[in-house]
Amino acid sequence: MGAGSRWAATALLVLAILGAACRGGSQQSGEGGAPHEQMVRLPTTEPPSLDPGLATDATSIDVIWQLFEGLVGFDDQGTVYGVEAQGWQVSDDGRTYTFQLRDGLRWSDGQPVTAGDYEYAWKRNIDPKTASDYANVLYPIQNAERIHEGQADPSTLGVRAADARTLVVQLEQPAAYFLRLASTWTLYPLPRWAIEQYGDRWTEAGNIVTNGPFTLASWRHDQELVLARNDGYWGQKPTLERAVYKIFPDGAGDQVVTAYEAGELDLGTTNFRLPPAAVERFQTDPKLKSELHQFAASDTRFIVVNHRRPALKDPRVRQALGMALQRDRLLRDVLKQPGQPASSLQPEGIAGRKPELWPSEDVQQAKQLLAEAGYPDGRGFPELTFTYNTDDTWKALAQYLQQRWKETLGINLRLDNMEWKTFLKWRYESGWTERGDLYRGGWTSDYEDPNNWYNVLWDSAEDPTQFNGGWVNAEYDALVRRARGEVDPAARTALYEQAEAILARDYIHIPLYYARYEVPVKPYVQNYTPTRVLGNTPLAKMAVVTQ
């Protein structure tokens, strides 16, 4: 054996030992990747806040959803069920809700969960001093809006604990969607003593007191957040003993996929889209392909139309723009995104929706409509501008629209992109209202009720603070405002269906697709189906097949 080969052999040996040592330290899983314990490792981004009263983003809410719970919940069929409330009554006028809490509810520090904890939470969240982003979710409750604007004291909010297990809520006016609101995180109970003791830091590990199926074991900011099964939980206890959230930066889709393939993660989450570079690999590699799953989301992507612009005032023009598109091609070849072509604005699961009323794709008819509107083959039609926030996906969309509308309708499209926050602000300035034509928009349900779409988005009173399209229709406004308070579910749906017909006829914005979640999941992880609203991870139901 020569000196050279001996040297090489030694180097190899050192490498092998090093490799073995490193592996021993970094991998908890055994052969085949399956873990030895009931534990999952999953990616997330840094949650801005674990305070249910303050959280507004999907990352925070996913973790809060494991740690806390509220009065009621909804399944994907839209059926309500009691969580901490075992029963509730609604008064005949639809303005008083009375909830009875279960017996034996406990906070993670052993204190009982009482109706007073709900009363405290709601009054605290509506207090303008708390500065909660989602305070307006509480507006249907008596005095909420006045309190929030500083014209009344938080103690006057229409909620009171009649006794430790009875919560009475007084609404400003009937709101048929109140139970939906009551299922959201902003209306969860809060541990007053912890908040008063630790102030803003009450959500740190060690300080936080929770009432859900998991507890917060540790939280190293921007690194790792560990949840542990709450063995004192009143209901069905989770199978998983631990869940380790590995925290990645925003936009780190590539790193997440790499960590998943290296066996450092057991599943992805809805926080991370599969990066376009990985899509092809996941579609061709049979093993990866079998691990990639699609799930429904309550989420529509569309193009916002500026109704103030003369050329876009005519509904035939808007319809022509929408009917000229080939959405299945757009999704599959251009955007490479999971989703379903959308003909209507409201996604599946929203009562009142009637996609069949909306025009379907038809280039010939699109051309005809444009001609009827006075622009045969696009002659005389002004150049339009499409604005989007700087991002590869939206850039691809913009280029597709430019090419497609030029080819089919003879319409020229100018593309304009902006940095994210600049884009968000621009939507409310003259750059959009006076000079903008189209921009990329989308909405995901906060709660799966028609109110969260028909009222919150398209009512002309809400429009200026939402997508700001400038569409006004008095008949529509009257219908959805009546529907909001209608207590009879069938009558309510009928009202929303009438409103839907107006949206479809006016084709107020151009629907593109219903987005779906696409998440890689290792074969040994069971029962992963993210919630349709917000894509929360169902940790309480999940399990792993251990060795």
Partner 1 sequence: MTGYLLRRVLLLIPIWLAVYTLTFVLMQLTPGGPWDREKPVPREVREALDRKYGLDKPVWQQYTDYLVGVVTRFDFGPSYTSRSRTVTDVIGDFFPVSLTLGLLAMAVGTTVGVALGVVSALRHNTWIDHLAMVFAIGGVSVPAFVVGPLLVIVFALGLGLVPTQGWGRPDQMILPVLTLALTPAALMARYTRAAMLEVTRMDYVRTARAKGLAERAVVLRHALKNALIPVTTVAGVLLATVITGSFYVEFVFNIPGLGRYFVTAVTNRDYPVLMGVTLLFASAITIVNLLVDVFYGYLDPRIRYE
Position 425 contacts partner 1 (CB under 8 A):
yes
Question: Bridge partners of 538?
Answer: none
Q: Which residues contact 39 (CB under 8 A, 6 or more apart)?
A: 28, 240, 241, 242, 243, 244, 544
Can you tell me the distance from the alpha carbon of 80 to that of 448, in angstroms, rounded to the nearest whole number? 11
Closest distance between partner 1 and the C-beta of residue 76, in Å? 22
Q: What is the DSSP string of 17-56?
A: HHHHHHHHHH----GGG--SSSEEEEEE---S---TTT--
Closest distance between partner 1 and the C-beta of residue 225, in Å? 12
The answer to whether the beta carbons of residues 63 and 44 sit under 8 Å apart is: yes
Position 419 contacts partner 1 (CB under 8 A):
yes
| Out of 102, 192, 242, 246, the residue judged to bind partner 1 by CB under 8 A | 246
Residue list 342-371, contact with partner 1 (CB under 8 A): none
| Out of 40, 42, 54, 369, the residue judged to bind partner 1 by CB under 8 A | 54
Residue list 23-42, contact with partner 1 (CB under 8 A): 23, 25-26
The answer to whether the beta carbons of residues 65 and 185 sit under 8 Å apart is: yes
Residue list 177-236, contact with partner 1 (CB under 8 A): 200-204, 220-223
Position 49 contacts partner 1 (CB under 8 A):
yes
Enter the DSSP assignment of 344.
S
Position 281 contacts partner 1 (CB under 8 A):
no
The answer to whether the beta carbons of residues 173 and 451 sit under 8 Å apart is: no
Closest distance between partner 1 and the C-beta of residue 2, in Å? 21
**Stretch touching partner 1 by CB under 8 A, among 61-69, 230-238, 250-258, 339-347:** 250-258
**Stretch touching partner 1 by CB under 8 A, among 5-13, 85-93, 129-137, 153-161:** 129-137
Please identify, using beta-carbon distances, which residue of 12 and 164 lies nearer to partner 1: 12
Can you tell me the distance from the alpha carbon of 417 to that of 287, in angstroms, rounded to the nearest whole number? 38
Position 237 contacts partner 1 (CB under 8 A):
no
**Stretch touching partner 1 by CB under 8 A, among 74-82, 172-180, 414-422, 479-487:** 414-422
The answer to whether the beta carbons of residues 251 and 257 sit under 8 Å apart is: no
Position 466 contacts partner 1 (CB under 8 A):
yes
| Out of 358, 426, 447, 476, the residue judged to bind partner 1 by CB under 8 A | 426
Per rule CB under 8 A, count of chain residues that contact partner 1: 61
Q: Which residues contact 188 (CB under 8 A, 6 or more apart)?
A: 52, 53, 64, 68, 69, 70, 121, 211
Longest dimension (CA), the chain: 96
Can you tell me the distance from the alpha carbon of 166 to that of 147, in angstroms, rounded to the nearest whole number? 23
Q: By C-alpha distance, which of 106, 140, 98 is closest to 122?
A: 140
- Cα-Cα-Cα-Cα torsion 416, 420, 423, 424, nearest 10 degrees, comes to 160
Please identify, using beta-carbon distances, which residue of 138 and 312 lies nearer to partner 1: 138
Contacting positions for partner 1 (CB under 8 A): 15, 18-19, 21-23, 25-26, 46, 48-51, 54, 56, 128-136, 148-149, 200-204, 220-223, 246-250, 252, 254-255, 258-259, 261-262, 264, 419-426, 428, 443, 446, 465-466
